[in-house]
Chains A and B, each alone.
Chain A
Amino acid sequence: MVDFSLWDIVRNLLLAARWTLVLSLIAFVGGGTLGLALLLARLAKWPGAERSARIFVEIFQGTPLLMQLFLCYFGLALLGLEVSAWVSASLALTLYSAAFLTEIWRGCVNAIPRGQWEAAASLALSLGEQLRHVIGPQAMRIAIAPTVGFLVQVIKGTALASVIGFIELTKAGSMIANATFQPFLIYGCVALLYFAMCYPISLGSRALERRLARRG
């Protein structure tokens, strides 16, 4: 039997952890952009925006991420579109993130008292100016905690991408565990690596919250 050193194991896990991070980043940036666009469309009361956003949110919040990944990979293939695991995983996670983030951020905007909107409107500010200078900064402060909480969920959610053949940290861990027959060690390392990815983000968010709070 081949003997694997701890460094062999950790090195391979780290290589796979890259993909976890990259996929999470894609999901977050893509989902964040889409979610924000949906939110702005709803706030600007574009015709049909509220209804379509709500349908979108219901679909992607109400179905399992695993199923969304399946549909983005196997479902699209059935329709004749050959997509790689990367594209499917990115697409599914982006849509999933967008659905949750738009609702989180909508809640934060709704938490801003009506009086702020009215005062800003009374000062002749346009909707865009109200959002950018008055409502946005206040909503952002409230949004940090739930947004970071969701980001951490996304990082862990990337583990599901393994079902469509995407090799990320969890999948690599299980493959290595099968090869080395040391599941406790391997999965322990996997957990530590996830923690190492998530913890700095939580720390960063608390620092960000403190910085925004200091401005009054």
Chain B
Amino acid sequence: MTETVSSPIVVIEALRKRFGALEVLKGIDLTVTQGEVIALIGRSGSGKSTLLRCINGLERFDEGRLEVAGQPLSHDDPKAMRALRQKVGMVFQSFNLFPHLSAGRNITLAPGLVLGQKGSVAEATARALLAKVGLADKMDAYPDQLSGGQQQRVAIARSLAMSPAVMLCDEITSALDPELVGEVLQVVEQLAAEGMTLLMVTHEMGFARKVADRVVFMHNGRIHEQGSPDRLFDHPETPELRQFLAALT
């Protein structure tokens, strides 16, 4: 638990998002405090990934308000978006490592261009981050030489290199072989323990129960239920959540 006063780092109010005629987010209200770990669960199509992608501006929302670290999102202002994306990091289901760059170069690219970190400083930071995710010897390896779990860990290190305040994890273990899931979840657990604000869309309920401060269950574009992991998993209040949990076991 944090000793300092927890301030809201992400504030979402009445967020709506439509894809053509289909309304995917039907009014989301969510406040995330600094250091909080939130697990977003729900059926596919419930809007979890879309919500996550709205937070770092990959999706443009239609109505409502979204603020990160006190700054409202403005899509048409490239400088504002650049500042936002320095504060919000994202890790993807399909890793999205840059295949033409080594792991080390993947990590140092953005800090070099955006934060002005060059040369030996950048390299040292990259090495430290790779060591942190357990891949100290993979600095010069290319993504196609790495396993899925290793690639995802490099992706996490790449995101961390920008020193974000919030990390968004969009089903980061869903594309991994089961035996590789653990090594990635271990890294995320460590991040959570260090006080990183995390928003994870996940199907790993065991992990959510262990690490999350709050679980948010989304259904049909709305937040259907939310609460502590124990409360949500052991005493689901709504039939939709009960149905969802039953389908998982």
**Does B113 touch A at the CB level, under 8 Å?**
yes
Tell whether, in the assembled complex, residue B99 and residue A138 are in contact, meaning their CB atoms are under 8 Å apart. Answer: yes
Interface positions, chain B 82-120, Cβ under 8 Å from A, are 82-86, 88-90, 92, 94, 96-102, 109-110, 113-114
Tell whether, in the assembled complex, residue A216 and residue B143 are in contact, meaning their CB atoms are under 8 Å apart. Answer: yes
Tell whether, in the assembled complex, residue A116 and residue B96 are in contact, meaning their CB atoms are under 8 Å apart. Answer: yes
Given known contacts A122-B58, A123-B109, A129-B113, is B162 in contact with A216 (CB within 8 Å)? no
Which A residues touch B78, using CB under 8 A?
Answer: 126-127
**Does B173 touch A at the CB level, under 8 Å?**
no
Contact with B along A104-129 (1 / 0, CB 8 A): 00000000010110111111111101
What is the interface residue range for chain A against chain B? 20 to 34
Tell whether, in the assembled complex, residue B96 and residue A124 are in contact, meaning their CB atoms are under 8 Å apart. Answer: no
Tell whether, in the assembled complex, residue B85 and residue A216 are in contact, meaning their CB atoms are under 8 Å apart. Answer: no
Given known contacts A129-B113, A133-B109, A216-B144, is B100 in contact with A122 (CB within 8 Å)? no
Minimal beta-carbon separation of A40 from chain B (angstroms): 16
Tell whether, in the assembled complex, residue A124 and residue B58 are in contact, meaning their CB atoms are under 8 Å apart. Answer: no
**Does A215 touch B at the CB level, under 8 Å?**
yes
**Does A64 touch B at the CB level, under 8 Å?**
no
Given known contacts A126-B78, A137-B100, A215-B100, is B113 in contact with A118 (CB within 8 Å)? no
Contact of B92 among A118, A126, A215 (CB under 8 A): A118
From B145, which residue of chain A is reached at the shortest CB distance? A216
Minimal beta-carbon separation of A193 from chain B (angstroms): 37
Tell whether, in the assembled complex, residue A216 and residue B100 are in contact, meaning their CB atoms are under 8 Å apart. Answer: yes
**Does B159 touch A at the CB level, under 8 Å?**
yes
A-B contacts counted at CB < 8 A amount to: 71
**Does A134 touch B at the CB level, under 8 Å?**
yes
Tell whether, in the assembled complex, residue A122 and residue B143 are in contact, meaning their CB atoms are under 8 Å apart. Answer: no
Tell whether, in the assembled complex, residue A124 and residue B102 are in contact, meaning their CB atoms are under 8 Å apart. Answer: no
Q: Is the interface of A mostly helix, strand, loop or mixed?
A: helix
Tell whether, in the assembled complex, residue A216 and residue B102 are in contact, meaning their CB atoms are under 8 Å apart. Answer: yes
Tell whether, in the assembled complex, residue B101 and residue A216 are in contact, meaning their CB atoms are under 8 Å apart. Answer: yes
Contact of A122 among B90, B102, B142 (CB under 8 A): B90
Contact of A119 among B82, B83, B96, B113 (CB under 8 A): B96
Interface hub of B57, B78, B96 (most chain A Cβ within 10 A) = B96
Tell whether, in the assembled complex, residue A123 and residue B96 are in contact, meaning their CB atoms are under 8 Å apart. Answer: no
**Does B158 touch A at the CB level, under 8 Å?**
yes
A134 to B97, CA, bound (A): 10
Minimal beta-carbon separation of A130 from chain B (angstroms): 10
A116 to B106, CA, bound (A): 12
Top 3 A-B pairs ranked by shortest CB distance?
Answer: A216-B142, A119-B96, A124-B85
* Chain B residues engaging chain A, CB cutoff 8 angstroms: 56-58, 78, 81-86, 88-90, 92, 94, 96-102, 109-110, 113-114, 142-145, 155, 158-159, 162
* Chain A residues engaging chain B, CB cutoff 8 angstroms: 113, 115-116, 118-127, 129, 133-134, 137-138, 141, 215-216
A sample of 28 cross-chain residue pairs with beta-carbon separation below 8 angstroms, ordered by A number, consists of A115-B92, A115-B94, A115-B96, A118-B58, A118-B92, A118-B96, A119-B155, A120-B98, A122-B56, A122-B58, A122-B88, A122-B90, A122-B159, A123-B85, A123-B89, A123-B110, A124-B82, A124-B85, A124-B110, A124-B162, A125-B113, A129-B113, A129-B114, A133-B109, A134-B98, A137-B100, A138-B100, A216-B144
